[in-house]
Amino acid sequence: MKNHHVNNQHVSIRRSIIKAVRSSYFLLSALVFLNMFTVCDVYAETRENTSAITNFAFSSYLGTGFYSTSGQEVFVLQLPLDYVIKEKTDTEPGWRLRLPLTIGFINFDNIDFEDIPEIPKIDDVATLTFLPGIEYQYPATPDWTVSPFFDYGFARDLNATTNVLITGIGVKSTLYFHFDENRLTLGNRLLYARERSRISDNDSSYSLIETGLNYRINTDISEQDPLFVNFYYINFYYPNNLVFLEDAPNPIRVGIEHEVGFTVSNIPDFLFFGKPQLGLGVRLGNDVNVFRIVFGTPF
């Protein structure tokens, strides 16, 4: 009976893995088809696009917030949608499908386009990024989870119908330390992403080394369904600077940054969000000021 139970568990795990692989394959195939359909009439545009001054392909990795420097402003809004294919437990790995949709608004009012004659004058740029990813969550211990992930999607400049393909790969680590009813979380993420566009031979890459600390405090407001207040700190190190306005006199460059903030978690369900986590953060570094709106965990 014991061997029969173990065999049933193995069969169940294999079926879950096969289902996850099939789901991710279907999603990636659909994205490839969608991208081919949307960019078929785009590649003829060369001089009239804004990609020469805007690198918006990696905005999905920045998170919701206001980014500003030297008079230029960028607003990034992200909907962090996801789907749990298989729930992770303390002993069994899980699969998660991430479906983030990111909208960006870039303001160019303070740029003197007379100094950049090869770029047509524009006031604002709106961008859309859809970067789905598959994440495997492996419980190394009950308090330590290692999660490799793979992302594939596209970004589009809505003003100039400029599309780029994006591929990202990386690994996340989450380690918990318990102190009575409170908890300290150590989070790490390594990421490498690359974008490609047929209208330009200059593909660019994006890499990130992220380290975060989060201290969760039990408010004891309700014993049955308590609210938690989280105070966090994150260090971002970008080996390759992310440049929003690379040909502008005052480009927005993301290099080494530090972020502090707080969130409230275990909030009652609303809309289609289950037990959401919301908060605010401030990120500083490399002459960039970021006021971040946090949806979900801060890292």
Mean pLDDT, range 52-71, rounded to an integer? 73
Mean pLDDT, range 8-36, rounded to an integer? 43
Residue 170 DSSP one-character state: E
* Angle, alpha carbons 175-179-182 (nearest 5°): 85
Q: Are 245 and 271 in contact (CB under 8 A)?
A: no
State residue 24's pLDDT score. 40
CATH number at residue 91: 2.40.128
pTM of the model: 0.74
Count structural domains, the chain: 1
Poorest-pLDDT segment among 30-44, 48-62, 122-136, 247-261: 30-44
Mean pLDDT, range 243-262, rounded to an integer? 73
Domain assignment of residue 38, given as a range: 2-295
Q: Are 43 and 200 in contact (CB under 8 A)?
A: no
Mean pLDDT, range 202-227, rounded to an integer? 85
User: Containing H/E element for 257?
Assistant: strand 253-265
